[in-house]
Amino acid sequence: MKQNKYDDPDFFDAYAQMPRSTDGLASAGEWEVFRSHLPELKEKTILDLGCGYGWHCQFAAEQGATQVIGIDLSEKMLAKAKALTTANNVEYQQCAIEDFTAEPGSLDVIFSSLALHYVEDLASVFRKSAELLKTGGVLCYSVEHPIFTSNASQDWHYQDGQIQHWPLDNYFHEGLRKTSFLGSEVVKYHRTMESHITLLLDSGFDIQAVVEPKPSDKLVEEMGWHDELRRPMMLIIEAMKK
Amino acid sequence: MKQNKYDDPDFFDAYAQMPRSTDGLASAGEWEVFRSHLPELKEKTILDLGCGYGWHCQFAAEQGATQVIGIDLSEKMLAKAKALTTANNVEYQQCAIEDFTAEPGSLDVIFSSLALHYVEDLASVFRKSAELLKTGGVLCYSVEHPIFTSNASQDWHYQDGQIQHWPLDNYFHEGLRKTSFLGSEVVKYHRTMESHITLLLDSGFDIQAVVEPKPSDKLVEEMGWHDELRRPMMLIIEAMKK
């Protein structure tokens, strides 16, 4: 099943209210870390898997990329992306992440921001990414962390209204999780850390970085995000095609 | 502080009752997975960091290793290892893991079983391992998993005597954990998954495997270990010196 939750009008409208939607990359807490793991984008050919509003595609174009392709299954997302994007070398295609195609060995960089946890068959996405990338090309993606996705509740354990800890469970039971996001039921796929690394290695990638981003000390103090130091929420992996 | 808990007589006696102590590697649930990530040991020079009873050293000798060095800080452990080991090419040295030395580039394989979570300065151990290994040499180690070590209680969250979930907390607060093992207080060091991978990459290793071992379906049924599928307890990493 290829999920197209973002064409659900209520879900799309709720997503539109998120700071990362209204304000772009600067309002995505993990952006600076994600950016630091992207290779040089100048004069490169780039593919963005699950491009959403197109903020990352626009960024790549601003960095001097030769060509940027953003794919997303959601028609509404792509309409928004096209409206927001000013660069003329960004092309958007309506396509499921599992179905993207390009000339083998034609891409320098594939990136994906918080989209691959919606994909059931991650192995095939990694295999195809390896096929489409040049040798030395980079795949960089962020997903929800296995610690975050393991338990479908995706919420803290409370007692008397106070957070007690993060309730981890079902870690080795990979696969579908029906969870709640922006007031709607959303289907995500939980995978272990071992699966992420093994699927990448088996697809012909070298591991360049495994990052568990956390808010800076400054943001923790300013925003009162102390609880965000109690469990990782996201995982960023940078891998290089051998 | 270099910990030598195993020379505490009560702790040593409690450890001696564990199946992995009395029966050796076959009784260590993670052994088959660990073994599968060791390279060919025949005619190789091997170092075992925190060798304990020496089961792994003995195994390496049986595989035809040329020379095996086992180090441990505990005099009692080494006495036991010497008594149990029949091979004549295994040498035991009383030495903290942080203090081992050998000729640079002289080793083929360094392994370590469930010892590195007792070491405060893991970065220096990895740097030294990279220095002592030949190019293409392998470091393979098991530790308690970051999910297991993050919360010092290292126990399930119960309600009415029933396991509810694994209470994860303080994930990003790396460092010392005073916890209980075999009825004694033990000091361990919690590290994030990111730290393990980053320290290895920064020390000049390629990541070959990241494994979260779990009991086989057979053991889950026979032993009733269903709860062991709810959270990972161990982490095995195989890395190759570049």
CB atoms within 10 A of CB B99: 13
Mean pLDDT of chain B: 94
Which residues on B lie below 8 Å from A214 (Cβ)?
A: 172
Q: How far is CA A161 from CA A48, A151, A158, A168, in A?
A: 40, 20, 6, 19
- Rounded percentage of chain B residues whose pLDDT exceeds 70: 100
| CA separation for the pair B44, B25 (Å, rounded) | 20
Q: Does B232 touch chain A (CB under 8 A)?
A: yes
pLDDT over 90 at A7, yes or no: no
- Residue A107 confidence (pLDDT): 98
pLDDT over 80 at B100, yes or no: yes
pLDDT over 90 at B59, yes or no: yes
- Residue B222 confidence (pLDDT): 87
Q: What is the pLDDT of residues A20-75, one digit of tens each?
A: 877 788 778 889 999 999 999 999 999 999 999 999 999 999 999 999 999 999 99
> Which residues are registered as beta bridge partners of B165?
B157
- Domain regions of chain B by residue span: 5-17+45-241
Q: Which CATH number fits the domain B5-17+45-241, given the four candidates 3.40.50.150, 3.50.50.60, 3.40.50.300, 3.10.20.30?
A: 3.40.50.150
Q: What is the pLDDT of residues B127-172, one digit of tens each?
A: 999 999 999 999 999 999 999 999 989 999 999 999 999 999 999 9
Q: Smallest Cβ distance to A212: which of B169, B192, B207?
A: B192
Q: What is the pLDDT of residues A154-190, one digit of tens each?
A: 999 999 999 999 999 999 999 999 988 888 888 999 9
Q: Does B176 touch chain A (CB under 8 A)?
A: no
Task: Give residue A115's pLDDT band: very low, low, confident or very high (50, 70, 90).
Answer: very high
Contact present, B139 and B129 (Cβ < 8 Å): yes
| CA separation for the pair A25, A36 (Å, rounded) | 13
Query: Which range among A3-12, A58-67, B103-112 shows the weakest confidence by mean pLDDT?
Result: A3-12
What is A5-150+163-241's CATH number? 3.40.50.150
Question: Pick from A122, A134, A230: which is nearest to A176 by CA?
Answer: A122
pLDDT over 70 at B1, yes or no: no
Contact present, A69 and A49 (Cβ < 8 Å): no
Distance from CA of A192 to the nearest CA of B (A): 8
ipTM of the complex: 0.94
Q: The pTM is what?
A: 0.94
- A231–B193: do the CB atoms touch at under 8 Å? no
Backbone angles phi, psi at A67, to 5 degrees: -145, 135
| CA separation for the pair B141, B133 (Å, rounded) | 14
